[in-house]
Amino acid sequence: MPRGVKRTWVKLDCHGVLHGSINWLFTLEEQAVFLKLIPMAATYCQTPGIISDNSGNPLPHEFIAHELHCPVEVLERVIAKGCGDSCLKETDEGLELTNFKHYQFTEYDRQRPYREAKKAQAVEEPEDEQPSKKKHGEFKNVLLTDEEFEKLTDKLGAATNEQIEKLSAYVKSTGRRYKSHYATLLNWTRRDDGKTHHSRKLPKTYTPTPDYDDLR
């Protein structure tokens, strides 16, 4: 875990706590002290896993015992046994739980440098600027780039302005928002074409049958 990144929670190795050397190495009282060293190594640290002061120097055993609410002699026994079993180590930085990183350093932590580098790269290399859009329609609320307007003109011809005005009035009256006014106009045109194509033919004008007398 990167220096200075502290946890507000810790994980416990269930198998190690229930079946590991902690059971035969420590008395029940000493086990409680050892287990409390784990969250302490996550919060009282400059390097997570090493109990130290804010400057990265070892904390006195008396202070650690006071924070754990245990007698100093019990802490001393835990440290002595732990160092003998290599699960604890006293260094120039402080009291180290040697397996802390193995159990607490997750895949999320391992990926942190890559996430931060990717974020920094995104800031340094902003996305390409999008073409500016111009306002169209009576209410100046239909936004189209010059290229989009030209494409609409090619597709709709003389009906282009009529469709733009229809959309402008609709947006103004309803307050609707669209991600792309260009795509909306195309969809409206296809919808209108579809209605025209599938509309039923009007019945022919009814012509009355001449009276029989007129045909004689």
SS3 letters across 69-135: CCCHHHHHHHHHHHHHCCCEEECCCCEEECCHHHHHCCHHHHCHHHHHHHHHHHHHCCCCCCCCCEE
Checking if the pLDDT of 152 tops 50, the result is yes
pLDDT, average across residues 65-82:
97
Task: Identify whether 117 is part of a domain.
Answer: no
DSSP 139: T
Q: What is the pLDDT of residues 92-114, one digit of tens each?
A: 999 999 999 877 877 677 787 88
Same domain, 41 and 95: yes
Q: What is the pLDDT of residues 17-61, one digit of tens each?
A: 898 888 999 999 999 999 999 999 999 999 989 999 999 999 999
Same domain, 104 and 145: no
Task: Identify whether 194 is part of a domain.
Answer: yes
- Name the pTM for this structure: 0.50
Same domain, 164 and 87: no
The half-sphere exposure of 104 on its side-chain side, counting CA atoms within 13 A, is 24
Measured in Å, how far apart are the chain's first and last C-alpha atoms? 111
Q: What single-letter amino acid sits at 40?
A: M
Same domain, 44 and 102: yes
Task: Please report, for the domain that includes residue 75, its CATH number.
Answer: 1.10.10
Task: Identify whether 36 is part of a domain.
Answer: yes
Same domain, 144 and 81: no
Structural domain count, the chain:
2
Same domain, 102 and 141: no
Residue 124 confidence (pLDDT): 61
Residue 195 confidence (pLDDT): 67
Residue 197 confidence (pLDDT): 55
pLDDT, average across residues 60-88:
97
Task: Identify whether 99 is part of a domain.
Answer: yes
Checking if the pLDDT of 166 tops 60, the result is yes
d(CA 32, CA 156): 79
d(CA 162, CA 176): 19
Domain containing 182 equals 134-198
pLDDT, average across residues 78-97:
96
Task: Identify whether 189 is part of a domain.
Answer: yes
Instruction: Find how far residue 176's CA is from the centre of its chain.
Output: 28
Same domain, 42 and 80: yes
Task: Identify whether 89 is part of a domain.
Answer: yes
Instruction: Find how far residue 134's CA is from the centre of its chain.
Output: 33
Same domain, 88 and 144: no
Q: Which two tokens stand for residue 151?
A: 């494409």
Same domain, 29 and 91: yes
Same domain, 80 and 23: yes
Task: Identify whether 207 is part of a domain.
Answer: no
Task: Identify whether 4 is part of a domain.
Answer: no
Residue 127 confidence (pLDDT): 54
Same domain, 52 and 104: yes
Same domain, 103 and 19: yes
